[in-house]
């Protein structure tokens, strides 16, 4: 029995210390294991090549990040559990980022930044929060955290998910067109799946009210770049805050880098903190060894 950590060595040292304290009997290896056939747990960003052949006793593979869409699940043997990162700092950081982004769009910050660069001094109208409808796509841990953070401002709140949900103070939808039609600032926190890849295209943006805006902190491959640019340039959308793109980083000269209605950040909404991540993986290994449910274990069929 052993654990293999395949990511940044400095982060690995933090994980190693946590395991030395909680599970000192479990051999912990960074980078490579001297006896690969003994490895039962792997912490990684991507699925290692020849996984089944190299690690025949593998029980769980843990993502070092919040999602698992970077994993090729087809390369993971059916009997191996896939675990996403559940770390308390992730919802905390997402609350901060989305609140910042929503308020920036609500108070027309992109337009004022353009004025600043142009040397202009012109005030616009401040709309009450009660007149700005916020819609959050994805009602898991992150979506619930974001909605809780936005509630005190007085925005009318709604959420969309594939399965029915009930959240106090939030209008929950499974009907996507109806949800989009009532949304002035759209927040995307969806995981990347076959159903969400390319979701935000021209038809999608056409279902939003004229002048709506977007906060995208889901996954880059969910957004059609050309469709967003056309929606902004044509007046369908008034602004966007983007933390994720495809590819990352964007090539030099990409229109997103200089568009006056786009605020672009380099995938920094959430960053896994090593100590908290280590505690999550320790808890998962201990649960597995005790025959208990593993926190963060995904539904392989859904991909999250």
Residues labelled as active-site residues: 219, 267
Peptide bond into 247 cis (omega under 30): yes
Kind and range of the H or E run holding 215: strand 212-216
d(CA 68, CA 46): 9
Q: At what angle do helices 89-106 and 109-118 cross, to 10 degrees?
A: 60
* Contact present, 44 and 168 (Cβ < 8 Å): no
* Contact present, 277 and 15 (Cβ < 8 Å): yes
DSSP state of 291: T
* Contact present, 191 and 162 (Cβ < 8 Å): no
DSSP state of 167: B
For residue 10, give both structure tokens: 């400095």
Residues 6 or more apart whose Cβ sits within 8 Å of residue 59: 40, 41, 80, 81, 288
Query: Which residues face 61 on adjacent strands?
Result: 42, 82
Helix residue spans in the chain (DSSP H): 9-22, 51-54, 89-106, 109-118, 141-150, 176-181, 202-206, 225-233, 274-290
* Contact present, 105 and 124 (Cβ < 8 Å): no
Residues 6 or more apart whose Cβ sits within 8 Å of residue 78: 300
d(CA 177, CA 203): 10
């Amino acid at each position: 029995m052993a654990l293999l950590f395949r990511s940044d060595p400095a982060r690995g040292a933090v994980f190693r210390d946590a395991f030395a304290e909680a599970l000192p009997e479990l051999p912990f290896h960074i980078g490579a294991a001297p006896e690969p056939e003994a490895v039962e747990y792997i912490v990684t960003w991507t699925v290692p090549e020849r996984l089944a052949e190299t690690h025949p006793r593998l029980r769980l593979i843990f993502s070092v990040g919040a999602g698992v869409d970077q994993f090729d699940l087809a390369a993971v043997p059916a009997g191996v559990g896939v675990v996403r990162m559940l770390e308390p700092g992730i919802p905390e950081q997402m609350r901060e980022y989305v609140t910042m982004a929503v308020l920036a769009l609500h108070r027309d910050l992109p337009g004022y930044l353009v004025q600043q660069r142009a040397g202009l001094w012109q005030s616009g109208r401040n709309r009450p929060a009660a007149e700005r409808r916020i819609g959050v796509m994805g009602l898991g841990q992150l979506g619930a955290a974001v909605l809780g953070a936005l509630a005190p401002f007085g925005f009318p709140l709604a959420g969309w998910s594939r399965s029915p949900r009930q959240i106090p103070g939030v209008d929950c939808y499974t009907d996507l067109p109806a949800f989009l039609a009532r949304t002035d600032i759209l927040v995307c926190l969806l995981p990347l799946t076959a159903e969400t890849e390319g979701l935000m295209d021209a038809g999608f943006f056409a279902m939003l009210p004229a002048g709506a805006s977007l906060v995208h902190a889901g996954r880059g491959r969910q957004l059609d770049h050309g469709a967003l640019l056309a929606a902004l340039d044509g007046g369908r959308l008034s602004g966007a805050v983007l933390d994720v793109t495809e590819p990352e980083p964007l090539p030099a000269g990409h229109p997103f880098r200089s568009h006056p209605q786009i605020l672009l950040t380099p995938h920094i909404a959430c960053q896994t903190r090593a100590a908290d991540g280590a505690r999550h993986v320790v808890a998962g290994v201990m649960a597995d060894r005790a025959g208990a449910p593993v926190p963060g274990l995904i539904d392989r069929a859904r991909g999250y």
